[in-house]
Amino acid sequence: MFVGIDVSKARLDVAFRPEGACFQVSNDEAGIGDCVRRLQALRPELIVVEATGGFETALVAGAAVVGLPIVVVNPKQVRHFAKAIGRLAKTDSIDAGVIARFAEAVRPRCDRFRMRPGSC
C-alpha cells in the first residue's frame, strides 16, 4: 500500500493506493497522532508528502519516530507527474490521491538513516 498526504496549515488529506480510500485529520498534535496510529495499523510500503515550508515537519517526525517509511519530496516533482498523467484539477483530496499515485509509480527512496529496523 502506498500513501500520499497533502499537507496544509489546517489539515492533512491522506489517500491510499491502490485502494483509493482516503481520510482527513487536523494538522495539529491530536490529528497527527490519529494519522500516525492509523498508518501504523495499515503498515504501508511507502508514505510520501510534499515539502510545504515546514507544515509537514511534525507529521514527518511523528511517523519517523514509530518507524513508518516516510519521504518528503519536492512539490515540483509531483506537479510534473500530475501534468504527465493529466490530473490538472486542484483540490486537497485530489492532490493527496496524486501524491499516492506518485508514491506507487515513482517509489522515491527514503533517506538512508533508519529510525528502527524495517523502516524504509
Predicted confidence (pLDDT) per residue in 80-101, tens digit: 999 999 987 677 778 999 999 9
**What pLDDT is attached to residue 37?**
97
Tell me the pLDDT band of 111, cut-offs 50, 70 and 90: low
Flag whether pLDDT at 117 surpasses 50. no
Is the CB of residue 115 less than 8 Å from the CB of residue 67?
Answer: yes
pLDDT at 57 over 50: yes
Q: Say which amino acid occupies 51.
A: A
| 53 contacts 44 by C-beta, under 8 angstroms | no
